[in-house]
Structure 1
Amino acid sequence: MATHDFTARIAWTGNHGAGTRTYRGYDRTWEIATPGKPVVQCSNDPLLGGDPGLPNPEDLLLASLSGCHMLWYLHLASAAGIVVTAYADNPLGVGESAPDGTGRFVRAVLRPTITVVAGSDLAAADAIHARIHAHCFIARSVNFPVEYAATYLEG
């Protein structure tokens, strides 16, 4: 089996000069830098003191899962002769928090709206979703169920 290396640099940017001396004395901001790509400014979940205007790790995981699913959907649709002209997803990640403050995702629901050319076989278009989990690197790596609730438009 072939291996693939993925690299990134994660750097905390929220030190106001005193580090983590006090719990409220620092920001939960950080950045992601990957070679040759734009830097992404991030923060913690707002429930945990983060900046609500920046993506947090949970946002990024959900977006990664959705993006991977979309790319495989487009590939498998093309291979099946189904012409997709637009694809947008509004995924939902459901998390739970324990009394001790630990948390986890318990499931995700991908809810794409997919536009296909008029006359497409919508049953075949929908059946593609069930095949994606076998291919998507991200979906195969998470330990919570991923559900699909697609809507189709013809245009």
Structure 2
Amino acid sequence: MKRSHDYTSTIVWTGNRGLGTRTYRGYDRTWDIAIGGKPVVHCSNDPLLGGDPGLHNPEDLLLSSLAACHMLWYLHLASDAGIVVEAYRDSPLGVGETEPGGAGRFLRATLRPTITLAPGSDAQAADRIHHEIHRYCFIARSVNFPVTCEATYEVRPDQPMRA
């Protein structure tokens, strides 16, 4: 039986310079994401659209959410398979397009994790796990663009024990 669950968030526009949206260039494209009991995240529009490059934008957050969801499922499935992951770092790449009228969308995303495995680990078995994740990952199952994974692996060599 499927279970339904809710997610909530409060988005507060912080870009009113005093005159609201009276003119197109007269306000900032900034806002805060507030979720009860968690730190506030300050955001801005994509710098290509005049946003603050020092703040997170929706595209950053979507790509990061996609990569984080994949990572969490990878760690879960690796643990279930007896594969010991010692480190995981991803530098995902999202490719988007903007139409002449300003509408944009993601065309694709490539996850590019570097995964460190415990000595004696089977990197091929570790790699096969990525192909299972899209059956589970909430975010990947929710987007309408292709998501691929180009993982690299480091198997930590055995270290002699120190006395």
TM-score, normalised by the number of residues in structure 2: 0.94
Q: Distance in 1 between matches of 2:121 and 2:98?
A: 43
Kindly provide the CA deviation profile for residues 17-65 of structure 1, in whole angstroms up to 9, marking residues without a partner as x: 1001111111111010011101000000001110000000000000000
CA distance in 2, matches of 1:137, 1:113: 22
Contact 2:94-2:109 at 8 Å conserved across structures: yes
For 2:78, the equivalent position in structure 1 comes to 77
Unaligned runs of 5+ in 1: none
Distance, in Å, in 2 between the alignment partners of 1:65 and 1:90 is 11
Q: Which residue of 2 aligns with 1:43?
A: 44
The number of equivalent residue pairs is: 155
Equivalent residue, structure 2, for 1:27? 28
Q: Tell me the SS of whatever aligns to 1:20.
A: coil
Runs of 4+ displaced beyond 4 Å? none
Where does 1:1-155 land on structure 2 (aligned, <5 Å)? 1-155=2-156
Q: Based on CA coordinates, which of the two structures has the bigger radius of gyration?
A: 2
SS in 1 for 2:96: strand
In the aligned structure 1, how far is the partner of 2:129 from the partner of 2:75? 10
Report the CA distance between 1:118 and its aligned residue. Answer: 1.6
Partners of 1:57 and 1:131 lie apart in 2 by 27
Q: TM-score when scaled to structure 1?
A: 0.99
Task: State the shift of 1:9 in Å.
Answer: 0.1
Unaligned ranges ≥5, structure 2:
157-163
**Structure 1 residue matching 2:7: 3-state secondary structure:** coil
Q: Is the 8 A contact 2:63 2:94 kept in 1?
A: yes
**Pairwise CA distance, 1:154:** 1.2
Amino acid at match of 2:34: A
SS of the aligned residue for 1:106 comes to strand
Distance (Å, rounded) in 2 between the aligned partners of 1:32 and 1:13: 10
State the identity as a percent: 72
Work out the CA distance in 1 between the residues paired with 2:75 and 2:10.
30
